[in-house]
Amino acid sequence: MSQRSLSRLLFAIFLVALIMGPGPGIYLINPDPENAEARRFVLGVPIVYAWAVFWLGVQAACVAVAYRRLWRELPKLNSGKSDQ
């Protein structure tokens, strides 16, 4: 995969994760308070919290892949010392 297509893919995934985490994605999984049978916990963790942590993990994975595959080492800046 070329760097350009990988960067576009990571951008799209990150954007979806950014929207789905705290945005309209919450309405997809937030249980109705009036429904007594609604599932409110996943593995002992509130479902809304687990949803947000999942999308945060997706964002972190995008940053990690970009760091390992796309971002190159920047040239070192001169610290003001003369090369003598």
Domain ranges of the chain: 3-69
Q: Please report, for residues 56, 74, 80, the alpha-carbon distance to residue 60 in angstroms, rounded to integers and kept in the order given.
A: 6, 22, 35
Ranges 7-11, 23-27, 61-65: which has the least confidence: 23-27
CA distance linking residue 17 with residue 59, whole number of Å: 6
Q: Per-residue pLDDT averaged across 26-46, rounded?
A: 82
Q: Does 51 have pLDDT greater than 80?
A: yes
Smallest CA-to-CA distance from 29 within 14, 50, 57 is with 50
Ordered alpha helix ranges (H), 1-84: 3-20, 25-29, 47-69
Smallest CA-to-CA distance from 54 within 7, 22, 10 is with 22
The pLDDT value recorded for residue 74 is: 64
pTM of the model: 0.75
Q: Does 57 have pLDDT greater than 90?
A: yes
